[in-house]
Amino acid sequence: MIMSKMSVSVRVGAVLALVALPVAALAQDATKSAAAVVELQNPSARASAQLEAQLKAMRNGDAIRAMLSQNPRFKQEAAKNQPAFNAAIARMGAMQADALGPIQREMLTASRQVAIAAYAREFTAAELDQIAAFYRSPAGAKLLARQGAINAEVGKAMQQKYAARVQAAEKSVGPKIEAELRKLFPQQAPAK
């Protein structure tokens, strides 16, 4: 009796192992194919170069300057002593790049791995191979080459069409939000 129960368990285990091998192989094939699709969509060398360019711009203070340029007081104060403001913004940009650069580099690698896993989960290896073949075709290569410019064009058009309305809406709701925040954080009486 013990022997037959063990042999059943062994046989079930062997069957499960045999079934698991092709499933694991298929998952590996899908992962390999998914990695190819992700690489075609956004080659890792290009993604790294783009990130490094963004970090260089950040280090120069471009992001901080853009953020502060919307503030009228900043413009007035900057005009009084442009060299000092430029130096301060460069220092702040360097701080920002030093703090965010390592995280963004890690995120780049992680996002590629998440994309590969998502594609491998959603598509079979055969489907991913077909997607990769499309991207390697003249039409697919053109899509990949032009997609960034098309996205930028759409973004620019939306910015031009809606930016003023969005800013006006944010400005109109600003005092209401501040009033609600004051309710949450009432001013304390000065210490005596």
Return averaged pLDDT per consecutive 10 residues of the chain, 192 residues in all: 53 52 60 95 94 94 84 80 86 91 95 96 96 95 93 92 87 83 72 67
Cα 25 to chain center, whole Å? Answer: 30
Same domain, 51 and 77: yes
Q: pTM for this one? A: 0.65
**35 & 7 share domain:** yes
Q: Are 52 and 109 members of one domain?
A: yes
Give the whole-angstrom CA distance, residue 166 versus residue 160: 11
Any domain includes 18: yes
Q: Which of 93, 94, 47 is nearest to 66 (CA)?
A: 93
Cα(188)–Cα(192) distance, integer angstroms: 12
Considering the domain architecture, whether residues 38 and 109 belong to the same structural domain is answered as: yes
Contact residues for 72 (Cβ-Cβ < 8 A; gap 6+): none
The reply to whether 122 and 177 lie within a common domain is: no
Looking at the structure, do residues 66 and 87 belong to the same domain, yes or no? yes
Q: What is the per-residue pLDDT for 48?
A: 95
pLDDT given at position 27: 57
pLDDT score of 23 = 47
How many domains is the chain built from? 2
Same domain, 116 and 83: yes
How far is the C-alpha of 85 from the C-alpha of 92, rounded, in Å? 10
pLDDT of res. 21: 44
Domain range enclosing 179: 149-186
Residues 132, 159: one domain? no
The answer to whether 116 touches 34, Cβ cutoff 8 Å, is yes
41: in domain: yes
pLDDT at 8: 52
In this structure, are 42 and 76 located in the same domain?
yes
Q: 152 is written with which tokens?
A: 């930028």
